Each structure stands twice: as structure tokens, then as C-alpha cells.
Amino acid sequence: MKLYVIRHGLTKCNVEKKYNGKLDEDINEIGILQAKKAQKAIKNLDIDLIICSPLLRTKHTCDIINVNNVPVIFDKRIEERDCGIYTGKDLGEFYNTDYWNYYSKAKVEGLETIQDLFKRIKLFLDEIKEKYKDKNILLVTHGGIARAVYFYFNELPKDGMIQEFGSSN
């Protein structure tokens, strides 16, 4: 199986540097342009199936990039991490110190821990690796999910900080 991952285009919360989590917001004009730019590269990939988060921002991104009319499955398991009480609030110091720290013990009402997020994505990836082992899959998802996918295949940094990951964010 080949696995490709794309994050949705830019949203209002992204621009305003706010937690969006499971907030069901659409992509903005820049996000639409980003998706159109990605569309050019994706149309040349031999994709058998798209698995997309059912949130509006990912669905809209998927609609734009899916010029080859590849079958799409919507799967809640690749929805963004729940930000709990931080949803819609400004990113602050917590975002840079604990939110993306795998080893953080911070307790925040309604916040899905990174450990729980990673477990959710591990189960999802284990299943699709078996179910679609001979297929090329594109995930249309979110930044937090992209991090979990990346660290499914790569070692965590020693300090547990996963805010920055891979060769390009």
C-alpha cells in the first residue's frame, strides 16, 4: 500500500491562530487556492481510494482535489483532535508547551490527549494497511492527524514535542 496524506486548506481559525479541532468550518479563499494547487500534483498520482475526514474543511478540500473522481469514504476516525474547552480560543503558551507534547500530563476539559489520538490513528492505519494492502490511498485530513500518521511510521523525538515534524509542514 502507498499512503498519501494531505491536510485541508487554510481556514479562518488557522489565519486567526485559534484552535479549531472539531469545529466544522470551511476553508477560506486562500485554502481554496491551496487545494487547487495541490490538485495539480494529486491528479497525476495513481490513487485508488480517498479516505476523508467528514468535517467541512476536509470535504471541501477533497471536492477540489478529486479531479479524477476517485471513490471517497468519509471516516470519523481521521477527524481532527478534539481541543475541548480550547475550541475557538486563541493559541497561547499551552499550545507551544503542552498541546503538542506527547508526554504532557496537562488535564484540559474535553481535550483528546495525544496518546489517545495516536491510539485512534494506530488502529485506523492498522486496519487500512490490511484492508487496502495493494491499493494507493489518499487521506484528506487535518494537521493533528498528519502528525499521528507521521509518528506511526517514525520515532518520536526524545522530548516528545511533535509540533514540528517531517521535512515540510
Taking only the tens place, the pLDDT of each residue in 24-64 is 999 999 999 999 999 999 999 999 999 999 999 999 999 99
Q: What is the pTM of this model?
A: 0.94
* Pairing mode of beta strands 49-52, 136-141: parallel
CATH superfamily of this structure's domain 2-153: Phosphoglycerate mutase-like (3.40.50.1240)
- Cell numbers linked to 31: 485554502
**15 DSSP assignment:** H
Sign of the C-alpha dihedral, residues 134, 135, 136, 140?
negative
Closest C-alpha to 54, from 133, 139, 136, 151: 139
For residue 169, pLDDT beyond 50: no
Taking only the tens place, the pLDDT of each residue in 95-149 is 989 999 999 999 999 999 999 999 999 999 999 999 999 999 999 999 999 999 9
3-class secondary structure, 93: helix
